[in-house]
Structure 1
Amino acid sequence: MTGDGTRVVHAGVPSAVPGRSFLPGPAFGAPYHLDPVLGPQPGVDGYGRTDNPTWRALESAIGELEGGECVTFASGMAAVSAVLLSVLRPGDTVVVPGDGYYKTRAFASSHLAERGVTVLEVPTAGPYPALETVRLLLIETPANPGLDVCDIADLAARVHAGGGLVAVDNTTATPLGQRPLDLGADISVASGTKALTGHSDILLGYACTRDPELAASLTGWRGATGAVAGPFEAWLAHRSIGTLDLRLARQSTNAAAVAALLAAHPAVTTVRWPGRPEDPAYAVASRQMRRIPGVVTFTLADKAAVDRFLEAASLVFAATSFGGLHTSADRRAQWGDDTPDGLIRFSCGIEDTDDLVADVRRALDAVIA
C-alpha cells in the first residue's frame, strides 16, 4: 500500500493524456446538450442537478481515501440529513451522539422525532443501551467538541447483530486519520468544509459506503432534494486534498505541543486531546485511529477568561469551523452548544510550532495576569 502523501496527491487524478491538465475542471453547466433524436442517455450528463464531471472526479478521490463509493453534498449537514432521512422510517429508532455536533442533535430531535422516529441521545464514550432494535446508530468519533472516542468495530458488531446500520461522522478524523468502513461501519459521513479541504473557503459534505443500494439511495436523495455541491467547490476541494497529508502532519504536531502546554498551565482547568496518554480516549484512539487530528479542546474559568485569551493572542483567530490552515478558537457556548462558558475548541493550523506555542503561552499568561 502506498503512503498517505502519495495517495492524496494521486487520488481521483485522471490518466495522463498529453495536452490535458493534471486536474481538469471545473465543468460548469446546468443543462447539457442532449441527443436531438434519442434524448437523455444513460451515462451521459443531461442536467446539472443530477451529475457533473467535476463531482465525479472529487467523489473518485474521496472514495479512494475512505474505501467506498462516495456521494458529495452541498454541506456536511446536507450529507448527515441525507443519511438520516433516506435510511429512517416512522417507527424506527436512531441513536445519535449526545455530545457530538449540536446541529445533528437538533435536527434529530425536531425533524426526525416529529416524523415518528424514536431518537435516543447517548454520550460518545457510552454507556450504550441494547442496540438490537436500533435501525441506525450514528456516532461521531472523535466527538465535536469534547473529543471523546468510541470503539467503532465493537458498536458495529452489536448493531449488525440486530440488522441495523452504523454511520460514523468522520469529520474530525478525516479518512487519513480513520477509515470507518474498514472498522465495520456501513456509512462514513463528513463535512468536507473542515480539515479534508482545509482552506476555509468552501462548504461541502459527503457520504461513503460499500453498499451499492445505500449509495443509490443517497444519490437519489441528493437529486430529488437538490442538495448538490457546486462544480467550483468540488474542484477546489479536489485540488486541496493533495496537501491533506502535509497539513494534517503539521496540525497534529502543533496539537501535541499545544496540548502539553495547556495541561501544564494554571489558567486551564481541563484539556482534551486523544493523543495524550493521560486522555480518557487515548487507549481506544491509539488502537483505532491512524493519526490524531489537530483539534484540542480546553476550558478556561469563564467567558471573561476566554475574552482575555483571544484578545491577547496574535496568531489565533476567533472563528467557528476547524481544520483550516490558520489556527482558530471557538467558544462553543456562544452557539447554543451545551458546554461550559469557558470551553474552547482550538483548531491548530499549520503555523510554525514554536511560534504558535509561544503565542498561546502569552495569551494564557494574560488570562491570569
Structure 2
Amino acid sequence: MDSDPALLADMLHHRTGSLPAGSPVALPLTPASTYALPGTIDAPFTYGRAGGPTWSALEEALGVLEQAETVVLPSGMAAISAVLLTHLTRGDRVLLPSDGYYATRRLAEQFLTPVGVEVVLRPTAEYAQQDLDGFTVVLVETPSNPALDLCDIAEVSARAHAAGALVVVDNTTLTPLGQRPLELGADVVVASDTKAPNGHSDALLGHVATRRPDVLERVRQWRTLAGGIPGQLETWLVHRGLETLELRFDRMCSSALVLAERLEEHPATRDVVHPGLPSHPQHELASRQMARAGSLIGFALPDAETAERFLERARRVVSATSFGGVHTSAERRARWGDAVPEGFVRLSVGCEPTEELWADLEQALRGLG
C-alpha cells in the first residue's frame, strides 16, 4: 500500500487554489469566539464552541489525506472519548487492545465499566482469534503502542461488520501517510495529531475521520455540547505542521529502519522490534497493510537500571513520553505500567541526520551489554 502523491499535493493546496488576490498564503490564525449574525443565524460560523475558520481549514486538510470528513478535537484521547462515549451505552460490549495505549484502557475502566458497558481486553496480535459476535465497538490499534504488534485491519473489519460492530482504528503511530484504515474497511479513524502531524511538540490535538455521516454527526454534536473543543492556536500550529508531514515522516521512517537494523545487530540490545524488520513476526502483514513501517522502535536492555543509564548517556535523544516529533525521544515504558520488560525502551526517531543519531546511540550503548 503506497501513499498517493496527488493527495499530498491536494492537501498542500487545499485552500490556496481559491485565494483572492492579496490574501495571505499562510493560514491566518482567527482567535474568535463570537461572529456577526445580523438578522440571521444562517452563517458559516456562529459561535466559537461550534466551529471557526481555523478549525475548518485543518479539518479540510486532514480530510484530504484521510479521504473522509474529519472532526478535530483537543487531543487524541478526546477523539477516542468522543467516539466511544457516543456509541456505547449500558449492556454494550467493546473490544480494546490490552497492549495498546494505556489511557484508552483507563478511560474504559473508569467511565465505561461503571455505566454498564462490558469491556473486553485482547492482545493486538490475537484479534484474529477473538469471536466478535455481540460487540458494539471493536477498537484496533495497529501497530500497538509500545510493543508494535499488528493485526489485520481488513480481516478484523470484515468479521466485525458481519457481527454488526463499528470498527475504530487508532492510527496515531502511522498517520494517513503510513496506513489507511478506511481503505482497509474500518469505519472510523482516531488519531493524536499531537504526534507526527504537528511534529514540533508544541500543541495537543486529535481528530476523528469517517465516511459514515451518522458517526460524524454524533461526534460533532458531542464536541459542541460537551464543550471539549480544540484551541485556535493549537489548531493553527497543527495545520502548519501538517504541511511538512511528508518530508518529516519520510526522514523519520527511513532513519528508523536503518537504526532498527543496526540495533538488532548490536550486542547490548535484544528483542528489537520494528515492523520493517524481516524478523518482526508480522512483517508480511506490515508489507501488505502499511505504506511505511513508522518511526518507532522497541528494544530491551537487561534491566531498568541499564535502560535508564542508556537514556542518560544518549545526548541526541530526549527523555520524553510522547513521540512523532522532530527530536528523537525515548523512554522506559514499563514505568507507565505497560506489559513490557523493565528494560524495554521505546525509541521515537526524529529528523536528525541518520548517521549522527546512530553515532550517539552507539556511544550510549557502549559497555551496556
- The interval holding the TM-score normalised by the smaller chain is over 0.9
**Does the CA contact (< 8 Å) of 1:196 and 1:241 recur in 2?**
yes
Q: Secondary structure at the match of 2:178?
A: coil
- Cα deviation digits, residues 212-261 of structure 1 (max 9, x gap): 11101000000111111111111111111111111111111111111112
- Structure 2: state its 5+ residue gaps: none
* Count of aligned pairs between the two proteins: 365
Q: Distance in 1 between matches of 2:329 and 2:211?
A: 35
CA spacing shift, 1:5–1:64, aligned 2, 3 Å: closer
Q: Distance in 1 between matches of 2:192 and 2:17?
A: 24
Aligned to 1:124: 124
**Does the CA contact (< 8 Å) of 1:308 and 1:366 recur in 2?**
no
- Structure 1: state its 5+ residue gaps: none
Aligned to 2:89: 89
Aligned to 1:298: 299
Offset at 1:171? 0.2
**Does the CA contact (< 8 Å) of 1:8 and 1:245 recur in 2?**
no
Aligned to 2:286: 285
**Does the CA contact (< 8 Å) of 1:8 and 1:243 recur in 2?**
no
Offset at 1:335? 2.1
**Does the CA contact (< 8 Å) of 2:12 and 2:61 recur in 1?**
no
Aligned to 1:191: 192
Q: Distance in 1 between matches of 2:340 and 2:106?
A: 15
Q: Distance in 2 between matches of 1:319 and 1:185?
A: 31
**Does the CA contact (< 8 Å) of 1:30 and 1:49 recur in 2?**
yes
Aligned to 1:324: 325
CA spacing shift, 1:14–1:91, aligned 2, 3 Å: farther
Q: Distance in 1 between matches of 2:17 and 2:150?
A: 36
Aligned to 1:174: 175
Aligned to 1:49: 49
**Does the CA contact (< 8 Å) of 1:80 and 1:104 recur in 2?**
yes
**Does the CA contact (< 8 Å) of 1:67 and 1:182 recur in 2?**
no
TM-score by length of 1: 0.96
Q: Does 1:31 align with 2:34?
A: yes
**Does the CA contact (< 8 Å) of 1:55 and 1:234 recur in 2?**
yes
Kindly report which structure 2 residues correspond to 1:201-220, keeping only aligned pairs within 5 A, or say none. 201-220=202-221
Kindly report which structure 2 residues correspond to 1:227-266, keeping only aligned pairs within 5 A, or say none. 227-266=228-267
User: Is 221-230 or 20-29 further displaced after alignment?
Assistant: 20-29
CA spacing shift, 1:272–1:12, aligned 2, 3 Å: farther
Offset at 1:89? 1.2
The letter for the 2-side match of 1:325 is V
CA spacing shift, 1:8–1:360, aligned 2, 3 Å: farther
The letter for the 1-side match of 2:305 is A
Q: Distance in 2 between matches of 1:81 and 1:13?
A: 33
**Does the CA contact (< 8 Å) of 1:83 and 1:218 recur in 2?**
yes
CA spacing shift, 1:199–1:217, aligned 2, 3 Å: same
Q: Distance in 2 between matches of 1:157 and 1:223?
A: 32
The letter for the 2-side match of 1:27 is T
Q: Secondary structure at the match of 2:293?
A: coil
- Cα deviation digits, residues 58-112 of structure 1 (max 9, x gap): 0001111011110000000011011100011111110001100001011112211
Q: Secondary structure at the match of 1:142?
A: coil
- Cα deviation digits, residues 313-361 of structure 1 (max 9, x gap): 1101100100000000011122233322111110001111110111111
User: Is 127-136 or 356-365 further displaced after alignment?
Assistant: 127-136
Q: Secondary structure at the match of 2:120?
A: strand
Offset at 1:14? 5.4
Q: Does 1:307 align with 2:308?
A: yes
Q: Distance in 1 between matches of 2:24 and 2:144?
A: 39
Q: Distance in 2 between matches of 1:66 and 1:12?
A: 16
Q: Secondary structure at the match of 1:185?
A: coil
